[in-house]
Amino acid sequence: MRVKRKSGYHHGELRRTLLDVSIGVIDKQGVDALNLRELALRAGVSSGAPYHHFADREVLLASIAEEGFGHLEAAMMAERSAAADDATSRLAALGRAYVGFATTHRGYFRVMFRGDLRSPDLAQARPRAFQLLYEALEDCQRSGVAPAGDLQPLVLTAWSAVHGLATLWIDDVLPRKGLNPEHLAPQVTTLLSSMFAALAREQSSVQRRSRRPARAGNKAPRG
């Protein structure tokens, strides 16, 4: 469906329109369906108009990705703020927000993790959601519900789980019958939290055993 041709767009309005139309195309048809000439037709502007805002398709995609990371960060922070006041609940909230954002904002999510996009603004926006996850797991360590030590494997495990679920869902890989990401996300985050807590308990148990004094053996009689 094409947008009716309009003239006299305000500079900022046209940029917003181009972004919104692009996100809608990617949501419904995927990234490969997007090109600037088709975008101009859909937005109802001349074929050269998009180039006043985006030098090429890659710049447009980088702008979508940057905006997407900002929305993802906001969604994760809002869900975390609404969670119960304990480290495990806050970690689970971040995971639910991540999957929820992906499944309701596919146009953004399909662009955000492309490795071929480069821009200074995107480079700053990308790590922020990752940092929220890092801080949540750091909090879990302090609370004793995640094993102590290097955080990197824990962060990557948690991220891989929620990102994998989100990607499988929006790419239509999972069977839709009987599956719902709104139900799966809490289950996955609960399993992750339980696994981290079990590892923390095992680590603590090993440390307690290692601190116990060794039992004195029978001494050989002196000759």
Looking at residue 2, its pLDDT comes to 46
pTM over 0.75? The answer is yes
The domain 65-211 belongs to what CATH superfamily? Tetracycline Repressor, domain 2 (1.10.357.10)
Q: How far is CA 186 from CA 6, 90, 97, 164, in A?
A: 45, 12, 10, 14
Q: Is 149 exposed, middle or buried, given 0-12, 13-18 or 19+ CB atoms closer than 10 A?
A: exposed
3-state SS class at 15: helix
Could you say which residues of the chain have pLDDT below 50? Answer: 1-5, 7, 223
Dmax over Cα atoms in the chain, in whole Å?
A: 109
Structure tokens given for 108: 């953004």
Structure confidence by residue, pLDDT tens digits, 97-137: 999 999 999 999 999 999 999 899 999 999 999 999 999 99
Q: Where are the alpha helices (DSSP H) in the chain?
A: 11-29, 36-43, 57-82, 87-104, 106-112, 120-142, 152-170, 181-211
Written as one letter, the residue type at 141 is Q
Q: How far is CA 33 from CA 22, 37, 61, 71, 150, in A?
A: 9, 11, 12, 23, 42
Looking at residue 1, its pLDDT comes to 41
Q: What is the CATH number of domain 8-54?
A: 1.10.10.60
Query: Domain residue spans in the chain?
Result: 8-54, 65-211
